[in-house]
Amino acid sequence: MSAVPQQELPRPGGFPEIRYKRYVPKVGPSGLVLFSGITLMCTLGLYRTGQGNLERRELEREKVWSRIHLIPLLQAEADRDTHRREVAAKEREAEIMKDVKGWKAGESVYNSKRYTPQTYVVIP
């Protein structure tokens, strides 16, 4: 058995080339376009946020100043209401205590010359 082994050889002209690379078709925008678009959107968003902050700050300032200018009006209204209530309370007290000798309606029960506003207890 002296047969000489035959080695497999490529066919004449060789084998066709093996395609091992990825042939992904180019779809969509490039990285530079994506980066530029994201940068533009972020810049626009930050600009609009800044403008909104300025607007909100101006509205807050306007609200604070409107409250500052309304305080005297509201205080005067509260003073008128307090005076009306005290006069009505004094009249009720005079009506209720008319039979008690020596009772002075509206006289303070405190031994002080300072004004003491009445205290209202709210019972639920």
> Taking a C-beta distance cutoff of 8 angstroms, is the pair 74, 82 a contact?
no
pTM over 0.85: no
Mean pLDDT, rounded, for 62-79: 95
- pLDDT tens digits for range 6-26: 888 888 888 888 888 888 778
- pLDDT at residue number 15: 86
Residue among 118, 121, 116 at smallest CA distance from 92: 118
What CA–CA distance (Å, rounded) separates 66 from 37? Answer: 43
Other beta carbons less than 10 A from residue 11's beta carbon? 6
Lowest pLDDT segment from 2-11, 24-33, 56-65: 2-11
- The band of 1, judged by pLDDT with boundaries at 50, 70 and 90, is low
Q: Give me the percent of the chain exceeding a pLDDT of 90.
A: 54
